[in-house]
Structures are given as structure tokens and as C-alpha cells.
Copies of this chain bind each other. A is one copy, B any other.
Amino acid sequence: MIKIHDFKGFPNPMRVRIALAEKGIADQVQFVTVDVPGGEHKQAAFLAKNPNAAVPVLELEDGTYISECTAITEYIDALAGEPVLTGKSARERAVIHMMQRRAEIGLLDAVASYFHHATPGLGPQIETYQNHEWGEKNRERALAGMRYFDGLLESRSYLAGDHFSMADITAFAGMAFAAFAKIDVPATLKHLHAWHGRVASRPSIASA
């Protein structure tokens, strides 16, 4: 049985849990809790699994560890049929990978940088380097990202077009992280709010 080493409720673990739920295979995975609030992800045993000290990590049956959500999602997407989260045609795959990366750069990673640099984050034991100005700059970037996605969603239902994909999962986790970090989403971004409602109503979300 494959394993997911993670911490439930955190943004990146959420991405992989939503992907598993979308594919209907969450019950075929063993979840192993990593005590991120306690700093377990920065200790040697976990660093051997992922030197970047981040959850989630997928452990294959042959003992291979796969980190980075795009890589894990690619693997999960190949395990079962519909919905296809990473695209079918070369064009679909390219658009989805582009939009998923934009959702990281402009939203999820920007919010994470704000949280870890400009707020107490996970506390002084874990946040051993903070650059407050960089954190504040990334709050601006997250808000710019929200405005960009709002404009995009004026003319499409999901980030990569007509279908829910890996890119929407990344952006949804980014919005969840923004709420946790108390970055308010401007009420004027009505297309973004409507998209958020559509995504939040998917059964996979409630379970993740």
C-alpha cells in the first residue's frame, strides 16, 4: 500500500488529499502523520524522505519517496480514471501545468511567504529565518494573484478552462491558506468568489 506522510489541514497536504478524493482512491492510501507544528519535518529522519523539509511526501511500495505536489499529483492521476486532473491531450496538459504553476507563484507560494515571513508563522522554534519586508511584498503578490485569477474566471469556469484540474486544487489550497493567514479576499473579486463556491461544493473538498 502506498503511504502519504503529511499533516492534515495544512495547505500542501490538502492538495494531495483532494486529488486522492477526486480519483476515489483515498481509502487505498495509508496516511502517516508528520508532526509539523512540533518540527518533526526538520529532523533527520524526515529530511531523509524530503530534504526540502516539507509535507506531503508520497512513499511508493518499493520505498521510493516522492515529494513536491505536482509530482505526487502526476503519480496519483495515473492510478485511476476520471476525472483526469493533469490533462489528456498535449495542449490540455500544457495549459494545466501552466495554470497550476501560476497558482503556486501568484497565490499559494505567495501566501506561504507572507505567513512564514511577516507573521509569527509556526513559531520561533520553526521559523528560524524571517524577512518581514519580503513577507509583506508577498502579501501584495497574493492579492495581485487573486485579481489576475478573478479576471481569468470572468470567461471560464475553472483555471484551465471548462474542467476542474490540478490547477484549481492548487489555487483552492492557496485560498484556504490565505483565509488561515487572514489575508482578506476583496469582495469586488466576484468571479473568484463564484469559482471558490463551485470548487468548495465538490465532495472531494469536504473530505480533505
Nearest Cβ distance between residue A48 and chain B, in whole angstroms? 12
- Do the beta carbons of B78 and A97 come within 8 Å of each other? no
Give chain A's interface residues, CB within 8 Å of chain B.
51-52, 58, 60, 64, 66-68, 70-72, 74-75, 78-79, 90-91, 93-98, 101-102, 105-106, 129, 131, 133-134, 137, 148
Q: How many copies does the complex hold?
A: 2
Given A131-B134, A133-B131, A137-B131, A94 contacting B74 (CB threshold 8 A): yes
CA distance A94 to B78 in the complex (A): 10
The SS class assigned to the A binding surface is: helix
Nearest Cβ distance between residue A150 and chain B, in whole angstroms? 12
Given A106-B52, A129-B137, A131-B137, A95 contacting B71 (CB threshold 8 A): yes
- Do the beta carbons of A98 and B79 come within 8 Å of each other? no
A-B contacts besides A51-B102, A71-B93, A131-B137, 8 pairs, CB < 8 Å: A52-B102, A52-B105, A66-B98, A70-B97, A71-B94, A71-B95, A71-B101, A75-B90
Given A51-B148, A133-B131, A134-B134, A94 contacting B106 (CB threshold 8 A): no
